[in-house]
Structure 1
């Protein structure tokens, strides 16, 4: 198999902790040729640490040296960099969320279609063992038609105190757009990627502004805190399915919780850990699923799928059109919270 030449745009934590190590592990099919960052010192440090041969202050100069790029910048820059890379004939894996608005997402998709290049978004929860097993069971009709999803991704007093996570201009939001987006994407995937048609949401900006509260993940400016730290929503889809959703950086709960469940017509699934609950043979059957296939680190199958898709030997798991639906939901939750009523969407986009 040919080797894909990879470039890294944005040399921060997610690049160095997930994407670069994954590509190094998959060195037989990919080589990291270049890195770019607006902070040249950070880019040079990453290049030295991971033996990356080229460093570029301007990411545009990278495009003639690579076949694909992985974008790890603040959310504000996802769309612009992705479109520039695609127009230059370069495949793109962009960190989540896809972009700040559904309109930006559509522009990214248009650029991918015009260029004929791959565009994927790094929703790595799809590649977790439990998620892949659940998808396989659903596709094999073990629970019947999926109708209700419940997603709860909450952390106890863990606002990220590093980077730009609390900067609304650069990130577009807080706990929802940073953390909850993974569970929105996972819910959509397991439900069969239906289109959202009505969303009711509430976004809170209170917990993290309390001056004497503890935060487990570093210091941040509480007076300037301008993003959401706790969000709830109810989402209806065009196929009749629905999603009960909650996410938080700062919840007053006993401990962090990641809960995902799908109820179907004949059975149900609980993830993290994975359980299959069925009605069969006149009995209620509950099964613990021991899923041992593949890697424990979801970053590895995510990277491998992107590489093989770029090389034309595997179908892409996270498609841009699916990721855009997540951004539509996020946008509608924020709008619903601001306006105080539900937001209706036509199938395929905003009204």
Structure 2
């Protein structure tokens, strides 16, 4: 096994029919969502899993991985086509870069990185590698959000002048150190790693953990990029932020507001509410009340039909789409590396602004 240039299976012109997948990270989210989905596919071979702890062998056997290892290099050198990265947040960059250097396709959990500079390093690395890179934001793949995207791409609201983005979720325990509700919601016995979610040194907190979803949905739908942000975060007694609020200026001159709250009651439906005001109309997207509404200033009204329950968060499509991109069964990536980078740089700017007593900070030159 070598760590040099990728072999024939990874050549850009080669069509892969059975994707050889390795996994780096074997925690609660990987074992409750990604691994079961991938293990059930006939076009996937789970080659190896890399992780830490005495339970790694049991995870290998449970999902049918060929081997288990604590060495990232051993895994990445195992003639893979793709790697799934579900390590703690602050380790995403190193693992993803090493995979891309080997010419591998990468599914990397969000937040993709914690720093804007690192996010754009990954953008450049993906371009050099010429491989697929997907960040699994589940709402970006819903039928109703895809219809909202079509409405916006058709110019139905004109140029965006103001964008409201709000998210709230029943995650106060996750960020406060008690993952009981998460274990019940996702029917898993693998506990979330506290350092990932409730330690600020490793990217814990609501902004990285949840606003990463709503902001990535905004950036994918609109194509906007934030240029400045002024914001505040509040821990409310927790070790990391539970509440986030920001005023944003986008590159096109539009104004925006962003908010996040971790303290919905356990069992409540997630809130993700986007309201986009343009020169020709308004688009409203609300996952809690399950609506997408277009209101044009010429009087046209459009209500997108949404099946009851479809607004609930799930991450079933992204892992499947990752495989379909590699095999050529699909070309639709709704959560590309550049969408993730725009989310990372906004969140980093929000946290920098809060640390500077709410001063407006520039996000990029």
Identify the TM-score tier after normalising by the shorter chain.
0.7 to 0.9
In structure 2, the CA distance between the partners of 1:290 and 1:231, relative to structure 1 (3 Å rule), is closer
Deviation of the 1:5 alpha carbon: 0.8
Are 1:150 and 1:259, in contact at CA under 8 Å, matched by a contact in 2?
no
TM (norm. structure 2) is: 0.80
C-alpha separation between the residues in 1 aligned to 2:312 and 2:271?
17
1:95 maps to which of 102, 109, 122: 109
1:56 equivalenced with 2:66 (yes/no): no
1:237 equivalenced with 2:253 (yes/no): no
Matching of residues 140-179 of structure 1 within 5 Å: 140-156=154-170, 158-160=172-174, 161=178, 162-164=192-194, 165-170=197-202, 172-179=203-210
Q: Aligned to 1:159, what secondary structure does the other structure show?
A: helix
Report what 1:342 is aligned to: 360
Report what 1:220 is aligned to: none
C-alpha separation between the residues in 2 aligned to 1:105 and 1:142?
31
1:130 maps to which of 144, 147, 150: 144
Are 2:248 and 2:255, in contact at CA under 8 Å, matched by a contact in 1?
yes
C-alpha separation between the residues in 2 aligned to 1:248 and 1:138?
27
In structure 2, the CA distance between the partners of 1:115 and 1:76, relative to structure 1 (3 Å rule), is same
C-alpha separation between the residues in 2 aligned to 1:317 and 1:256?
23
In structure 2, the CA distance between the partners of 1:235 and 1:253, relative to structure 1 (3 Å rule), is farther
C-alpha separation between the residues in 2 aligned to 1:150 and 1:15?
31
C-alpha separation between the residues in 2 aligned to 1:206 and 1:178?
17
5+ long unaligned stretches in structure 2: 1-15, 179-191
* Residue range with higher mean Cα deviation, 316-325 or 331-340: 316-325
C-alpha separation between the residues in 1 aligned to 2:160 and 2:36?
36
Report what 1:106 is aligned to: 120
Are 2:216 and 2:335, in contact at CA under 8 Å, matched by a contact in 1?
no
1:180 equivalenced with 2:193 (yes/no): no
Are 2:104 and 2:131, in contact at CA under 8 Å, matched by a contact in 1?
yes
Deviation of the 1:112 alpha carbon: 2.5
Report what 1:263 is aligned to: 277
1:318 maps to which of 320, 335, 341: 335
Query: Over aligned residue pairs, what C-alpha RMSD do you find?
Result: 2.7
C-alpha separation between the residues in 2 aligned to 1:140 and 1:298?
27
In structure 2, the CA distance between the partners of 1:76 and 1:146, relative to structure 1 (3 Å rule), is same
Report what 1:289 is aligned to: 305
Q: Aligned to 1:299, what secondary structure does the other structure show?
A: coil
Deviation of the 1:259 alpha carbon: 3.1
In structure 2, the CA distance between the partners of 1:157 and 1:138, relative to structure 1 (3 Å rule), is closer
Q: Aligned to 2:65, what secondary structure does the other structure show?
A: coil
In structure 2, the CA distance between the partners of 1:328 and 1:74, relative to structure 1 (3 Å rule), is same
* Residue range with higher mean Cα deviation, 323-332 or 239-248: 239-248
Q: Aligned to 2:55, what secondary structure does the other structure show?
A: helix
Number of residue pairs matched by the alignment: 324
Deviation of the 1:28 alpha carbon: 2.9
5+ long unaligned stretches in structure 1: 209-224
Deviations for 1:241-262, whole angstroms, at most 9, x for unmatched residues? 3332111223699955513223
1:333 maps to which of 320, 326, 350: 350
Q: Aligned to 2:214, what secondary structure does the other structure show?
A: helix
Deviations for 1:302-340, whole angstroms, at most 9, x for unmatched residues? 123222322345243322122111111011101111112
Report what 2:36 is aligned to: 21
Deviations for 1:68-117, whole angstroms, at most 9, x for unmatched residues? 01100101100011111111222111100111111222222333233332
